[in-house]
Amino acid sequence: MRIKIIGGGSAGLYLAFLLKRRRPDYEIELFEQNQADTTFGFGIAFSERALEFLKRADPETYAAMAPSLENWSDGIIVLNGEPIRIDGIGYAGIGRLRLLEILQARAQAVGIVPRFGSRVETLEDFGDTDLIVGADGANSIVRKGRDFGTTLEHFTNRFAWYGTPKRFEALGHSFIETPQGHFNAHHHRHAPGMSTFVVEVNEATFNACGFARMSLEEAQAMCAKIFAGTLGGAPLISNNSIWRQFPKLSTQRWSSGNCVLIGDALHSAHFSIGSGTRLAMEDAIALANAILQHPSDLPAALIAYEAARKPVVEKLVQAANASAEWYEHFAEHMRSPPLDFAYSYITRSGRIDLERLRTTSPEFVAAYQARGSTKPRSQV
């Protein structure tokens, strides 16, 4: 079977590895427009539950990742300088580039030689290919080249993805009201001496601050000043840290002819729930399994892939969209008392309620109920 994979991120690399490991006879080519050591952003986070899929499906790859994971078991919400600790929030961070290095090594170990620095402009050059896989992200050339019934919108908030040498001991979210407007930052460590620091603002704050007119350096300096207390004097580090709006992407069809989509080319999951990379790697597992189960019938394989994955993806994307909508109104939520705000935050995706929190976060629930909040306040 001749397979061409467009995109050398976590989805494309992992799919190439999974297929070639089981079927060395497959002709698999992987094209990535960037160089091997180039990536956008800094670190990513996996929820404790998100890593369970990898432990079960591919313990060897999990073992390769484990030494590079930074783990913690609590979350800390800081509302205008007041911290609220939420116990039982298990997450792990890893550098985005470090994860790619691990997956590149796994793919190369089974004979995959990615073509880095190779930008695919058209699918017409792949006429003799059995299967073309679009693993090329939100701006997928594969998705644009075929009819997948795509819907693409953007959330109104802006975010800029920075790094910092400040070491955070837990998954943290800091919310600050200033004369310039409302700011929040998502921060966690992804290496012993480095943390991810994503600054997010609503549209009103973005416009009031004039971020659209600022240079990258000016915006970086302003964000460092706003979050000086959170950073404890540490600097922000830029890696093409431009202001972006998160895409809300969905597709009616997961395949079209001999083309199929996985990962961010197929769907988007807001970064606030830490599931984007998980979804990408799980898509790769599901597609590889479907192809291996139907090696002589690709249409059946693509149908099986969508049937197995779509219900799971829809639930996670629904939760991610609910989380993103909460952040779209975070300034209004900040009017609540700290514990009510924290409860609203932790239940924002609709996947966690008070009863579940009693099990996962008993200390937080005890504090929450001790001040009389046994029922959630109405939320925006």
Retrieve residue 246's tokens: 């998160």
CB-based burial label for 296 (10 Å; 0-12, 13-18, 19+): exposed
**pLDDT tier, 374 (very low <50, low <70, confident <90, very high otherwise):** very low
What DSSP assignment string belongs to 329-367?
THHHHTTS-HHHHHHHHHTTTSS--HHHHHHH-HHHHHH
Q: What is the mean pLDDT of the chain?
A: 94
CB-based burial label for 58 (10 Å; 0-12, 13-18, 19+): buried
The residues near 316 (Cβ < 8 Å, ≥ 6 apart) are 269, 273, 275, 279
Instruction: Please give the average per-residue pLDDT across 28-44, as a whole number.
Output: 91
Q: pLDDT tens digits for 249-304?
A: 999 999 999 999 999 999 999 998 877 899 999 999 999 999 999 999 999 999 99
Report the amino acid identity of residue 192. Answer: P
Per-residue confidence (pLDDT) for residue 276, from 0 to 100: 87
Question: CA 213, CA 219: separation in Å to the nearest integer?
Answer: 9
pLDDT > 70? residue 372: no
Element (H, E) at 373: none
Q: pLDDT tens digits for 45-104?
A: 988 878 888 899 899 999 999 999 999 999 999 999 999 999 998 899 999 999 999 999
Taking alpha carbons only, the member of 218, 169, 224 closest to residue 195 is: 169
- Domains in the chain, ordered, with CATH? 2-44+53-64+96-152+247-327 (3.50.50.60), 158-238 (3.30.9.20)
Measured from the Cβ of residue 363, the count of other Cβ atoms closer than 10 Å reads 12
Q: pLDDT tens digits for 55-64?
A: 998 999 999 9
4-8, 217-221, 335-339, 369-373: least confident range: 369-373
Strands 194-201 and 158-164: antiparallel
